[in-house]
Amino acid sequence: MTRFAVGMVKRLLMRNCIRLAIVAGMAWPHVNAALAEDAAGSGQNPSAAPHEHTNKLIDSNDPYLLLHAHNPVDWYPWGPEAFAKAKRENKPIFLSIGYSTCFWCHVAERTIYSNPEIAKLMNQWFINVKVDSEERPDVDRIYMLAREIMTGGGGWPNNLFLTPDLKPFYAGSYFPPKDDPRAGPGFPTILAALNQAWSSDRAKLLGVGENVMTALHRLQSAMSGHGTAPVDPAAWLAKARDKLLSQFDPLQGGLADRSGTKFPNAPRLALLLTDYQLNRTPNALSSVLTTLDAIAFGGIHDQLAGGFHRYSTEPSWSVPHFEKMLYDNAQLLQLYSTAFQLTKKPLYREIALETARYLAKDMMAPEGGFYTARDAQLDGVEGAGHLWTHGEIVSILGAKEAERFLSIYGLTPLPRSDVPDIAHPQSVNGEPPAILRLRVPIDQALKDVGFNDTAGMLAAFASDRAALMAVREKRPQPARDEKVVVALNGLTIAALAESGRILDQPEFVGWAKAAADRLWSLAFNQRTGTLQHEVFRGQAQTDGFLQDYASLGSAFMALLDVTGEKIWQKRAAELADQMLGRFGRSDGSFLTTHTENGVLIAIGDEGDLEMPSGTSMAIDLLLRLYKASSEARHLTAATNAVRQLSGEFQDRPEAWASAITTLNRFPLPSSRESAAVANATTGINPPGDLRELASADHVQVAASVKSVPDGDAIVVTVRVDDNFHINANPASYDFLIPTALEFKGVKPANVEYPKSVRFTSRFAPEGLDVYEGSTAIVATFPKGSLQGIDAIQGAVTAQACTKLICLPPSTLPISIAVKEK
């Protein structure tokens, strides 16, 4: 270890601020943000050949963890065994989070975790824990936020060092195996410096962990404590549309990114299509179509097998990052189908048909359901298997047909990286391998081969593509992650059902129903009402998350819309009830994970990223159910969630693209309609303003003044309707709103709140302190302090809840005539 490297690590470690937690340059500075956001992974099972090392991951039922089961590192899965060992031996934890199709995770597995000398240091000084981000998205989310707090960056692999009680004090991404002047200290240097700091200056590391936890709690409060705004989905849609159009690349489509990378951003494209459908904004449609054309023509679109790679590494969509994700392909299938519905453009129909058939051929499990992803790399080479040279194409198609084929298709060479530890594709007879894409401008390419439209041209070259694909299929194939993740399958089921209807393809609807039936029978326990997160090798496992319940429920409602079969509505309603009981919060918002999942801190969603968030899908499910059944409980829960997030929707509607889309596709009913529904289905007689469907409908207050020794007292009687309760003061949790009494212009010497009762439900199995029925709050004032006052104005703030939902809090005014006491 060089003196320079040790000094750098020590200086950065010992700075007294949260952002100390990363070594400057410890992740590769050349690797752009999008590449660092990826990593390695494999859906392959460990080799059956004898292995020199075997660790605790061998007992896992997860493809990413099994990939590391024969590393010389003493890996543990996330869980109590590892945590207990860390506390018993008083060692820090090295937490490494990735997923099975992540390129840089593969690089780390090959260059770091397979290295016996590095593994020896890891085993000697740390307790090492591996997590699949797709198996435990809740763990990944917490520690990704922690890393962003500490370093300002994110992405996978996500590597952190934790105290034995799981508080992070150091973070980074890919650590190189040795010191490098360009990349900074290598992993052994970092390990040694952290071990030295843990031994000699542990208090500072513990202090960093506490600082990070404080920042996480503040972030949690900020995410759940944003203000409210008038509920106006149409205005939110217009604001989001204008924001997205300002970021649009008019030449090559997509949303501009300073890094040069481009992701499909399907939720945002769906919002723009929705805006066009409702408002006929010309730029909204043209921007989406420009993007869909560019994606279809580019290398991000697999021109031979169909389907789409994860993102483009440059602005023209030519050079992709090669992994294929189920969630991208499902959403793009939906987008191309909807674009065809709006424009009748044959290209969009052909791309949608091709994408659905790709999903059925490459991603669909034989017994139903869809796998998670296809890897980007093969034998350490990204894109291996997808690349071609001019000579290879000539040898397959013949010189004349190859010339014709290559007049419409171009070959884009992959840029060569100077980053160490990366394998590169080998040249063939001096030619660098390249990725296929359609030539642009497309009009000129069509003219060169004598066609008027792209769809007709694609059909004419189908036999050429088939010949190339037959050769490609004989090559070794990238690994496939064969987890069947419920939330991702929900997106896919809905996309197949709705595209099947639009494109008149009953087969697609059949694939969707088969997946839905399998997940219902295998992943949902009808006795306990619990949904599992994933199925792997026939085994349902891991407690489901908000996104799983909501996504599958919305998919069932899509099947109802397409098939008319009521069984899907029944199943969706059952999932919605379980979702509200497990993840609903008293303020109307949602937790993303069950509180008993062993996470450091529970944090809600912060928007719709590469796919709809659990919160947005929950709102979608509830509004679809209300539309189908007119049951007030679904409308109330959806309305409460929207009110709670209204400030976010107003400030950042483009970040909540899926929620804004849902609220405009399934609008909240008018106040008059809401009152009628509530009256008919619940017997409640709500006021005519939707804003007043709140706690004031079920809580009444009255006040009186009486004399007490050494002063006066105001007694406020609070009456709560049957089957409702209000939170005690103090409330059981910080995020709950306590019942509170306040006065205007005068201050009592003391406010005595009544004794609470204990309330339990599926939402709060551990119990909450609440008030029920009739109770009294007593405020006492010093003798003579009320003299000369005619009346006192005050208010009681309270939030009424049932076993399933909480209404928005109300401030209930009181007025007390003092002189007449």
In angstroms, the CA 233 to CA 653 distance is 9
End-to-end alpha carbon distance in the chain: 83
Asked whether 102 and 478 are in contact (CB, 8 A), the reply is no
The pair of structure tokens assigned to 681 is 């289905």
Q: What is the pLDDT of residue 418?
A: 61
Contacts of 462 (CB under 8 A, 6+ apart): none
Q: What is the pLDDT of residue 28?
A: 27
One DSSP character per residue, 658-692 reads HHHHHHHHSPPPPHHHHHHHHHHHH-----S-GGG
In angstroms, the CA 732 to CA 769 distance is 6
CATH code of the domain made up of 3-224: 3.40.30.10
Q: What is the pLDDT of residue 296?
A: 98
One DSSP character per residue, 437-469 reads EE-SSHHHHHHHHT-SSHHHHHHHTHHHHHHHH
DSSP state of 255: B
Q: How far is CA 754 from CA 197, 294, 726, 776, in A?
A: 51, 66, 12, 6
pLDDT tens, position by position, 665-716: 999 986 444 444 444 333 333 333 223 346 787 899 988 888 777 788 889 9
- Give the start-to-end residue ranges of the domains of the chain: 3-224, 386-475, 506-691, 694-817
The pair of structure tokens assigned to 800 is 């009424």
In angstroms, the CA 313 to CA 730 distance is 53
pLDDT tens, position by position, 464-505: 999 999 999 999 999 999 999 999 999 999 999 999 999 999
Contacts of 425 (CB under 8 A, 6+ apart): 381, 383, 384, 387, 414, 432, 433
Amino acid at 268: R
Contacts of 139 (CB under 8 A, 6+ apart): 78, 97, 131, 133, 599
Q: What is the pLDDT of residue 6?
A: 34
Q: What is the pLDDT of residue 33?
A: 31
Interior angle at CA 101, CA 98 and CA 105, nearest 5: 45
Confidence (pTM) = 0.76
Q: What is the pLDDT of residue 399?
A: 97
Domain covering 694-817: architecture: Sandwich (2.60)
Reduced to 3 states, what is the DSSP secondary structure of residue 204? helix
* Element housing 53 (H / E): none
Q: What sign does the dihedral 129-131-136-138 (CA atoms) show?
A: positive
Q: Which CATH number is correct for 506-691, 1.20.1090.10, 1.10.260.40, 3.30.1490.440, 1.50.10.20?
A: 1.50.10.20
Amino acid at 452: N
Stretches where the chain sits below pLDDT 70 are: 1-49, 183, 222-226, 417-429, 595-598, 670-694, 735, 761-765, 803-807, 819-821
